[in-house]
Chain A
Amino acid sequence: MSEPILKVRDFSVDFWVDGVWYPAAIKMNFDLHPGKVLAIVGESGSGKSTTALGLMDLLATNARRSGSVMVKGEEMIAAKASTLRKFRGREVAYIFQEPMTALNPVYTIGFQIVETLRNHFDVGPKVARERAIQLITLVEIPVPERAFDKYPHQLSGGQRQRAMIAQSLACDPGLLVADEPTTALDVTIQAEILDLMRGLRTKLNSAILLITHDMGVVADMADEILVMKDGNTVEHGSSEQIFHNPQHPYTKELLGAVPKLGGSAKRILPAESANAAPVLKMENVTVEYPKRGRVPAFTAVKDFSLEIFPGEIVGLVGESGSGKTTVGRAAIGLLPIKAGRLEIVGTDISHATQKELFTIRRHTGIVFQDPASSLNPRLPIGESIGEPIFLAKLAKGEELNRKVEDLLEQVELPRSYRNRFPHELSGGQRQRVGIARALALTPDLLIADEPTSALDVSVQARFLDLLLELQDKLKFACLFISHDLAVVDILSHRIAVMQDGRLVEVGDRDQILKNAKDPYTRRLIAAVPVPDPIEQKARREARLAAKGS
């Protein structure tokens, strides 16, 4: 066996916070050989990113590293700043999560690649430019000569990520550290980037250290997997071993929490609700963001028609920018519609005034995407939850307090949390508060706008269980907006697919997932990585074959 390019022994990272050392990574041990992919998986806060950044001392000043990190046989822990600088970019290159912020917006991508090259090699600007164009060609950005002179904001999200990969490959590094490289991307683009990285690994024989929370991506890429929890290494083994024969209970739990596409039982809608009048009725709805200054008007949703019946959950999927969120907001009157007809519980609100909207507010609720910004940071959560009841003048004083406590109980939070502030809760708890607030008036229609996209898988799994349980009990209709097909699969009776502001396809869950008519839906489903290395390999080959033909 060849010499490992990265050899990590007893590697620990601690952070100094308010007079105490907090361990973030504890006694890590692993080797990485050329041409191999090691994935570090774990939930947020498990220390996977800290480990990755700590290898080359890229952490904040209050961090302390100990143990041993050998890159190509050289020790990195006690290394001088100049040695570290020589290795960074040259031997160990990083790809970060958010390409928009990782690339400098005031320089062209060509300049940034040339900069990396000329930092490490003694080359003239002309030679460096040629090499940079070669790299841009390698990462398959169209028209490399022109892309060289483009600024990051002129490229799409996927192209930006490619540009960043090109920059990190500039010096043929032996080790590529990819920290959540596809988390900010849509599934179809994610699939392309993963294909690209896989191709580069075989072409350049680099080793890849992949940090991700997405088990589908892990199954698609990894040869070896290291599972982390609270800074500890929980399990370490080959990809097949971890996926098919996990030993540690935490690994089993983690894999069990990952939603699987097509893995859940069919949900049958009670017969009486199919015949009832729809709770939400959208007919040829068009939503437009009006012209602002020199920015022309933008039609976010065109000719959108959808009906949701009482007690039904409809999943709305699509890639970013497809208009899903706009539909959700328009459906409860947060955005005015430009054309078409919109009815909620029998009331036409197509051209409703603020006052008329006020009456339908009692029948609707919404759970937002971002748990950090959806609760007012200055209000205790009890007050946030009670606000709809208070404003609808249904209760106040003691009675309001009791109702708030009941709602907290309903979402499985302790009653005493009433006086807590949002920043004192975790993301999952905040989303529960969001649900409690949305359900405060026992609405007929609930809009859930990507409520789980900011949550870890295990938290997401419990959140979805809770939502299903509540829906079973309260029988509200729900429009569940998500980019994650597997999540929608668990919840929905029906699925609607959107692309570029238009409804592409709507139908029964099984019909959409197994027997989609529209090519776009089929492509979307094929691009979702499945958390099973063998199945994912088969899916990948099928997808590439379909692409080639």
Chain B
Amino acid sequence: MSDDVKQPADSADMKSDIFSKETEGLSQAQIVRKRFFQHKAAMTSLFVLLGIIFFVFSAQSISLGPVKYPGWWKYDYEQISDLRIAECSGGVVGCPSLDVFPSSIDGTPMQIGEHPFGQDDIGRDYFAMVMRGAQRSLLVMVIIGTLGAALGTVIGAIAGFFRGWVDAILMRFTDFIITVPTIVLGSVIGYHFGNLGAVFLAFFLGIFAWTGISRLVRGEFLKLRELEFVDAARVAGASTRRIIFKHILPNAVGVIIVSATLLMSGAILLETGLSYLGFGVVPPDVSLGLLISNYQDAFTVRPWLFWWPGLFIIAVALCVNFIGDGLRDAFDPRQRRGMSRKDKASLASGESK
């Protein structure tokens, strides 16, 4: 096909260079991908997040049915070992053995040691606990994000496409859910279902997390359903189902992806908040929020019990937010006309390639 691509049917249809450049064989998905890849903060965040996920999930044992992966870290999060006392100064116990400064700076050699993140009160390895906690938190984030996005998309799509009384009922129902504060709703859910494990908790939270997305998708559908290609599809004999899923939904995918990403970063904070309040993940399982909650009074003497889980929460939430920002910019056509700093520099110097 590449042979006659350069020969349009009629040359007058093709305008000067600048117009043909605009139409240079890139699909919308390719344009979005290109713009996303150019977003430095989002790309960095993406790699950092992927790194964290791989690091966290490979550290502790995972079992999927009969297959059991042992994890590369020597301790399990429930395993109790001897407390480090002799190495620690000031009479505290279980201090971290991680030393990142070379001996030329502080006199001790760089090392990971036996318990890099330290130990908790009874001698459990804190690195293992943080890894396990981060696993739970990430899992909760993904489940809430996917479930919320899926429900929100379907409800918003139906409301926006059919309008009328369907829309009225669904949107009033959405309003009703929005009026109930999430933290209260989460507390009630956590209180009743928290002991079933993190997956169930995430599932029930996800059932109530779709409201924002459904409103956005509804708005998008209201806009898209008036476009002529929808009428064209109807004239072609397409069923309502086909129009919604084949014609309109792919055009709304930008809104959905962006808000789902932002929902995820909200979800990780929601889980943290709930666990902190004691309504989230229940011991002996751990989550990052639970770790912080457990050791909040240890902050002054053993601050590492607070720092490590906090660091992971901030890192994951920031990464997901930056990725969401990058996606939003990539899908937003108004971002297109900007000049890069390099372009501006050569514009100022007046030279052309």
| A429-B9 contact given A21-B352, A62-B337, A416-B1, CB 8 Å threshold | yes
The CA of A193 and the CA of B27, in the complex, are separated in Å by 43
Determine if A426 is an interface residue (Cβ-Cβ < 8 Å).
Answer: yes
- A368-B232, A373-B229, A416-B5 given; 15 more Cβ-contact pairs under 8 Å: A15-B18, A16-B339, A22-B21, A43-B12, A44-B15, A332-B235, A334-B231, A366-B235, A369-B228, A420-B25, A428-B13, A432-B9, A437-B236, A440-B236, A456-B12
Interface members, chain A 1-46 (any B CB < 8 Å): 15-22, 24, 43-45
Q: List 18 A-B contacts (CB under 8 A).
A: A15-B18, A18-B21, A60-B337, A62-B343, A362-B237, A368-B231, A376-B233, A377-B229, A391-B242, A412-B9, A413-B9, A414-B4, A414-B8, A416-B1, A421-B28, A428-B13, A429-B13, A459-B12
B237→A388 contact, CB < 8 A: yes
| Distance between B193 CB and nearest chain A CB, rounded to angstroms | 39
Partner of B251, one of A20, A230, A378: A378
Interface: A425 (CB within 8 A):
yes
- Considering only residues 240-297 of chain A, those with a C-beta below 8 Å from chain B are none
**Residues of chain A within 8 A of B21, CB atoms compared:** 17-18, 22
Interface string of A209-242 (1 = CB under 8 A from B): 0000000000000000000001100000000000
B14 within 8 A of partner (CB): yes
B residues contacting A by CB (< 8 A) are 1, 3-5, 7-10, 12-19, 21, 23-28, 227-229, 231-238, 242, 247, 250-251, 337, 339, 343, 346-347, 350, 352-353
Given contacts A16-B343, A387-B236, A428-B10, contact A366 B231 (CB under 8 A): yes
CA distance A369 to B19 in the complex (A): 22
Do residues A426 and B353 form an inter-chain contact, with CB atoms below 8 A? no
Q: Is A402 an interface residue (CB 8 A)?
A: no
Q: A17-B18, A22-B17, A368-B228 are in contact. Are A458 and B236 (CB under 8 A)?
A: no
How far, in whole Å, are A329 and B231 apart by their CA atoms in the complex? 9
The answer to whether the Cβ of A364 comes within 8 Å of any Cβ in the partner chain is: yes
Considering residues B232, B251, B337, B343, which has the most beta carbons from chain A within 10 angstroms of its beta carbon?
B232
* Contact present for A392 and B17 (CB under 8 Å): no
Q: Chain B contacts of A334 at CB under 8 A?
A: 231, 234-235
Q: A154 to chain B: which residues have CB within 8 Å?
A: none
* Chain B residue, CB-CB nearest to A335: B231
| Complex alpha-carbon distance, A246 and B352, angstroms | 37
- Give every chain B residue within 8 A of A434 (Cβ-Cβ): 232
Q: C-beta contact mask, A429-463 vs B, less than 8 Å → 1, else 0?
A: 10010100100100000000000000010110010
Partner of B237, one of A361, A369, A414, A459: A361
| Chain A residues whose CB sits within 8 angstroms of the CB of B231 once the complex forms | 329, 334, 366, 368
B352: which A residues are within 8 A, CB to CB?
A: 20-21
Tell whether, in the assembled complex, residue B235 and residue A361 are in contact, meaning their CB atoms are under 8 Å apart: yes
Question: B1, A419: Cβ atoms under 8 Å?
Answer: yes
Are B229 and A375 neighbours in the complex by a CB distance under 8 Å?
yes
Contact A62 B347 (CB under 8 A): yes
User: For B237, what are the chain A residues with a Cβ–Cβ distance below 8 Å?
Assistant: 358, 361-362, 388, 391-392
Name the CB-closest residue of B to A369: B228
The 6 A-B residue pairs with the shortest CB-CB distance in the complex, in nearest-first order: A45-B15, A388-B236, A416-B1, A374-B228, A368-B228, A378-B250
In the bound complex, CA of A334 to CA of B233 (Å): 11
Q: Is the CB of A16 within 8 A of B10?
A: no
Interface residues of A in 347-387 (CB under 8 A from B): 358, 361-362, 364-366, 368-370, 373-379, 384, 387
Number of residues on chain A facing chain B (CB within 8 A): 64
A-B pairs under 8 A by CB, number: 134
A424: interface (CB < 8 Å) = yes
Partner of A416, one of B4, B232, B337: B4
User: Are B235's CB and A365's CB within 8 A?
Assistant: yes
The smallest beta-carbon distance between A414 and chain B, in angstroms, is 5
Contact yes or no, A424 B4, CB < 8 A: no
In the docked arrangement, what's the CA distance between A375 and B28, Å? Answer: 14
Provide the residues of chain A in CB contact with B25, threshold 8 Å. Answer: 420, 424
Residues of A within 8 A of B238 (CB): 387, 391
Q: A24 touches which one: B4, B18, B27, B347 (CB < 8 A)?
A: B18
Q: What's the least CB distance linking B174 to chain A, in Å?
A: 19
What distance in Å separates the Cβ of B300 from its nearest Cβ neighbour in chain A?
Answer: 54
Is A423 on the interface with B (CB-CB < 8 A)?
yes
Is the beta-carbon distance between B232 and A426 smaller than 8 angstroms?
no
Knowing A377-B28, A387-B233, A420-B25, the reply to whether A61 touches B339 (Cβ < 8 A) is yes
**In the bound complex, CA of A217 to CA of B13 (Å):** 23
Query: Which residue of B has the minimal Cβ distance to A418?
Result: B1
- A421 B27 Cβ-Cβ under 8 A: yes
* Bound-complex Cα distance A148 to B343 (A): 46
A476 to chain B, nearest CB (A): 14
Within 8 A of B (CB), among A61-79: 61-62, 64
B339 lies within 8 A of A361 (CB): no
In Å, the complex CA distance between A329 and B21 comes to 36
For the complex, give the distance between the alpha carbons of A245 and B228 in Å. 43
- Nearest-neighbour CB distance to chain B for A124, whole angstroms, equals 41
Shortest distance in angstroms between B28's beta carbon and chain A's nearest beta carbon?
6
How distant is B141 from chain A, measured CB to nearest CB, in Å?
A: 29
Q: Is the CB of A230 within 8 A of B15?
A: yes
Complex Cα distance, B1 from A459, in Å, reads 25
Whether B235 lies near A373 (C-beta < 8 A) is no
- The reply to whether A426 and B13 form a contact with Cβ atoms under 8 Å apart is yes
**Interface pair A45/B16, CB less than 8 Å apart:** yes
Once the chains are docked, how many angstroms separate the CA of A370 from the CA of B251? Answer: 18
Interface centre among B234, B242, B343 (most CB of A within 10 A): B234
B266 to chain A, nearest CB (A): 28
Question: Cβ of B16 and Cβ of A458 under 8 Å apart?
Answer: no
**CA of A64 to CA of B18, assembled, Å:** 15
A412 CA to B24 CA, complexed, in Å: 20
A231 to B352, CA, bound (A): 19
Q: What's the minimum C-beta distance from B63 to chain A, rounded to whole angstroms?
A: 41
B8, A19: Cβ atoms under 8 Å?
no
Q: A332-B235, A334-B234, A421-B27 are in contact. Are A20 and B14 (CB under 8 A)?
A: no
Establish whether residues B235 and A391, one from each chain, have CB atoms under 8 Å apart when the complex forms.
Answer: no
The chain A residue with its CB closest to the CB of B230 is A376
| Residue among B14, B15, B229 with max Cβ neighbours from chain A (10 Å) | B229
Contact B236 A376 (CB under 8 A): no
Interface centre among B12, B227, B235, B247 (most CB of A within 10 A): B235
Residue of A nearest to B17 (CB): A22
In the complex, A462 Cα to B5 Cα: how many Å? 21
Interface contact A391-B13, CB-CB below 8 Å:
no
The answer, among A21, A60, A429, for a CB contact under 8 Å with B8, is A429
Chain A residues whose CB sits within 8 angstroms of the CB of B17 once the complex forms: 22
| Least CB distance, A548 to chain B, in whole angstroms | 43
Of B15, B242, B353, most buried by chain A (CB within 10 Å of CB) is B15
List residues of chain B with CB within 8 A of the CB of A440: 236
Rounded to whole angstroms, the CA-CA distance of A363 and B7 in the bound complex is: 34
